[in-house]
Structure 1
Amino acid sequence: MTEGQEKPIGEMSFEEALRALEDVVRNLESGEVPLDDSIALYERGEELRKACQARLDAAQARIEKIVQGPDGKPSGTAPFDAEG
């Protein structure tokens, strides 16, 4: 994707957002990006980081709510916002 045609973060999968964040970090670490562009890249990187973290937090919450059957073995999952 060329600059100016970046996919909106809300439409990215976790993997796409992570790859985009890695690209931002690589560009910033190169030291070849002008200051104004670096600031814009940093802002996008922060938004990508937040999106990735939110997805990881949601996944962790789902895993923590695995429902155990009477035998103590996992029998499914419950919504993470359900009362336990």
Structure 2
Amino acid sequence: MAKKLIAESAAAPESFEQAMAELAQLVTQMEAGQLPLEASVAAYARGSELVRYCAAQLEKVESQVKVLEGDMLKPFAADGAGEGMQ
């Protein structure tokens, strides 16, 4: 069953959230220690692909934020914002 799950999910993820969910599922399966060696290697390879996909998506979003912020990220609590919220 684990081989089947990994083989079915080999396509590119539809979204960052889907990739994260699949990655979490793979980690759970691997941590359970019940996958045969071949399935563990396939799960590791798929997990690596998903991590690269997620990192690329995060880089895209970061560059979009930089453009929106005038190419300069600003701190969240500027000019006393958030004071009194202790």
CA distance 1:42–1:7, change in 2 (3 Å): closer
Q: Which amino acid aligns with 1:5?
A: E
- With normalisation by structure 1, the TM-score equals 0.70
User: CA offsets per residue over residues 12-68 of structure 1, 9 Å max, x none?
Assistant: 211101100111111111111111110000000000000011000100010011155
Aligned to 1:53: 55
Alpha-carbon contact 2:29-2:35 (below 8 Å) kept: yes
Instruction: Identify the structure with the greater helix proportion.
Output: 2
Q: Distance in 1 between matches of 2:25 and 2:69?
A: 38
Unaligned runs of 5+ in 1: 69-84
CA distance 1:7–1:35, change in 2 (3 Å): closer
Identity among equivalent positions (%) equals: 30
Q: Runs of 4 or more off by more than 3 Å in structure 1?
A: none
- With normalisation by structure 2, the TM-score equals 0.69
Question: Residue 9 of structure 2 is aligned with which of 6, 10, 35?
Answer: 6
How far 1:6 sits from its partner (Å)?
Answer: 2.0
Q: CA RMSD in A?
A: 1.6
Q: How many residues align?
A: 66
Unaligned runs of 5+ in 2: 71-86
Larger RCO: Structure 1 or Structure 2 (Cα < 8 Å, ≥ 6 residues apart)?
2
Alpha-carbon contact 2:19-2:50 (below 8 Å) kept: yes
